[in-house]
Structure 1
């Protein structure tokens, strides 16, 4: 019975590769027990940190016993197609556009695939930005949270930071919108 409950409510980790060396990065996710890294970058490469390019990263992870999956459906860098965005609580156009994308069937398909992967693996989502609140991982984490998935952000070797739903998020079932907060001082810089 406890095993069933655990399968129904997976824990998913979140990490940004930042400028870490591949050795430091691999050691960090190994320390946190990650068995599958899910790359949620739209463009899975980096000119400045080529060790995280899709062509080389899977092989380095495999050598450490960690799987790799690129899930483009959850990638950032989205352009909104909504005339009147319900997500104007985000000052950053990038965050607002991604929040608009979260209302699409493509996002829903991607998030369901991610949850299935997290049920079968100790999975971590990865993007480039080290700080989750400066990355679209924060919005993906909100979407997972309202679906009953606990998300923890890996910040370093210590205990991961438990994700809390964005304060001004409005939730209707599994649909999240981000209208302007009542107190504009609570809206993020991003």
Structure 2
């Protein structure tokens, strides 16, 4: 099984959709807590679903169960928590939600986890992908940057 990840910030629409346009990538799995903000530009949920289908023939699904809580995100972004603490809290949340059991292999295989961060180092999409890879067999992760 292959899981991709991508963030939309610091990418033009051409770069973003170009990275997603690959034969073994089947769908974008939106794991953002807020996917309707005007700040999301061409990746607002309704627009993104349309663009993915029309431009590159890919599916779209929103998986809020793979997003952090609003409080968790606010604490980290406000500087009241460091990355290590955020990572611990987020991974505990994934374990509590039992996402390895509740998100189907069929949905994940060929899926691309989407969030906003430009790179995966300090992003929950990397944490989700690694969490799932530790709990499922034969998972490969590719970060699209």
Same fold flag (TM > 0.5): yes
The answer as to 2:107 corresponding to 1:117 is yes
Shift of 1:22: 2.3
46, 49, 53: which one pairs with 1:62? 53
Q: Alignment partner of 1:76: what SS?
A: coil
Deviation, 1:37, is 0.6
Q: Deviations over 1:84-130 (max 9, x none)?
A: xxxxxx943432321220221353444x32x32134xx221111101
Alpha-carbon shift at residue 142 of structure 1 (Å): 1.6
The offset of 1:72, in angstroms, is: 0.8
Calculate the TM-score normalised by the size of structure 1: 0.61
1:129 corresponds to: 117
- Take 1:127 and 1:35, find their aligned partners in 2: how far apart are those partners? 17
**Alignment partner, residue 75 of structure 2:** none
- When Rg is computed on C-alpha atoms for both structures, the one with the higher figure is 1
Tell me how large the CA RMSD over aligned residues is: 2.3
- Structure 2 gaps, min length 5: 73-80
Q: Distance in 1 between matches of 2:97 and 2:40?
A: 32
In structure 1, C-alpha distance between the alignment counterparts of 2:46 and 2:40, rounded to whole Å: 12
Stretches of 4+ moved more than 4 A in 1? none
For residues 145-184 of structure 1, the aligned pairs below 5 Å read: 145-146=133-134, 147-148=136-137, 149-155=139-145
1-structure distance, mates of 2:36, 2:86: 19
TM-score (norm 2): 0.78
* Residues 67-88 of structure 1, C-alpha deviations (whole Å, 9 max, x = no match): 10001110124557xxxxxxxx
Secondary structure in 2 aligned to 1:133? coil
Q: Which has the higher helix share?
A: 2
Q: Distance in 2 between matches of 1:33 and 1:116?
A: 13
Write the mapping of 1:8-27 to structure 2, written as runs, cut at 5 A.
10-27=1-18
Cross-structure match for 2:26: 35
